[in-house]
Amino acid sequence: MSDLRFMAAIYKRQGRVTELFELWKKPPPHVRKVMDSHHWDYTLLALEVAFKQKAWKQLEEQCMVMINRIIEPAPESQNATEGGSEPVDPVLRTETMNEVCTISWVVWSHLLESTTQLYQEPE
């Protein structure tokens, strides 16, 4: 994760945030593993970089990815019975929701800021 932070700092200083997000969309497998295992840290880093660089489109996209990930239906278990399937243990969803609640202000405030900057007031 420290390498991702270092990478973000370099691209941020150079004003190449759009290029950074393009690289992060298709990372090599070893980088993808870090991004997945530290998902919340990576997401906060991406939000922070986009916000500080006033990259409103990237900020909006990152916020919407997070919000959609939160509100999508719970995945179903692999041990589906005939005629239906069982939802995943609610405890697993609770962990995700608890993590989201700790950073929700960052997500919502950044989403509001980015939409204010991107769209006209009537929209």
**CA separation for the pair 114, 47 (Å, rounded):** 11
- Domain contains 46: yes
Q: How many domains does the chain have?
A: 1
pTM of the model: 0.68
Beta-carbon-side half-sphere exposure of residue 110 (alpha carbons within 13 Å): 30
One digit per residue, pLDDT tens: the chain, 123 residues?
A: 888 899 899 988 888 888 888 888 888 898 888 888 887 788 888 888 888 888 888 888 888 887 777 777 655 544 444 444 555 555 455 556 666 666 677 888 888 888 888 888 776
- Domain contains 56: yes
Q: Which domain holds residue 28?
A: 2-71+88-118
- Domain contains 78: no
- Domain contains 79: no
Residues 74/87, Cβ–Cβ less than 8 Å: yes
- Domain contains 28: yes
Residues 16/10, Cβ–Cβ less than 8 Å: no
